[in-house]
Amino acid sequence: MARAFLVVMDSVGIGGAPDADRFYNGDLPDLGANTLAHIAQACAEGRAEDGRSGPLHLPNLERLGLGSAMRLASAVPFPGLTAEPEGLWGCAAEISPGKDTPSGHWELAGLPVPWNWHFFPDETPAFPADLSAFVAEAAGAPGILGDCHASGTDIIARYGAEHMKTGAPICYTSADSVFQIAAHEESFGLNRLLDLCQAVAPRLHAMKVGRVIARPFVGTPESGFTRTTNRRDFAITPPAKLLTNWVQDAGQKVHAIGKIGDIFTMSGIDTLKKGPDAELMQHLAEAVETAEEGSLTFANFVEFDSLYGHRRDISGYARALEWFDHEIGKILPRLRVGDILVLTADHGNDPSWPGTDHTREQVPVLVAAPGQTPGQAPGAGSLGARAFADVGVSVAQHLGVASSGPGRSFL
Contact indicator for 106, 389 with CB cutoff of 8 Å: no
Q: In whole angstroms, what separates CA 81 from the centre of its chain?
A: 23
Per 3-state DSSP, the chain is made up of helix, strand and coil in percentages (nearest 5) of 35, 20, 45
Whether 249 has a binding-site annotation, put simply, is no
Whether 176 has a binding-site annotation, put simply, is no
Spatial distance between the Cα atoms of 292 and 2, rounded to a whole number of angstroms: 9
- What DSSP line would sit under 241-254, residue for residue? --HHHHHHHTT--E
Spatial distance between the Cα atoms of 284 and 265, rounded to a whole number of angstroms: 20
Whether 122 has a binding-site annotation, put simply, is no
DSSP symbol at 100? S
Spatial distance between the Cα atoms of 396 and 411, rounded to a whole number of angstroms: 10
Q: In whole angstroms, what separates CA 359 from the centre of its chain?
A: 12
Whether 346 has a binding-site annotation, put simply, is yes
Measured in residues, the chain has a length of 411
Whether 10 has a binding-site annotation, put simply, is yes
Spatial distance between the Cα atoms of 43 and 37, rounded to a whole number of angstroms: 10
Contact indicator for 106, 267 with CB cutoff of 8 Å: no
Closest by CA position to 34, among listed 62, 89, 73, 60: 73
Whether 305 has a binding-site annotation, put simply, is yes
Spatial distance between the Cα atoms of 320 and 301, rounded to a whole number of angstroms: 10
Spatial distance between the Cα atoms of 179 and 176, rounded to a whole number of angstroms: 9
Contact indicator for 390, 90 with CB cutoff of 8 Å: no
Residues making up the annotated binding site are: 10, 305, 310, 346-347, 358
Residues making up the annotated binding site for Mn(2+) are: 10, 305, 310, 346-347, 358
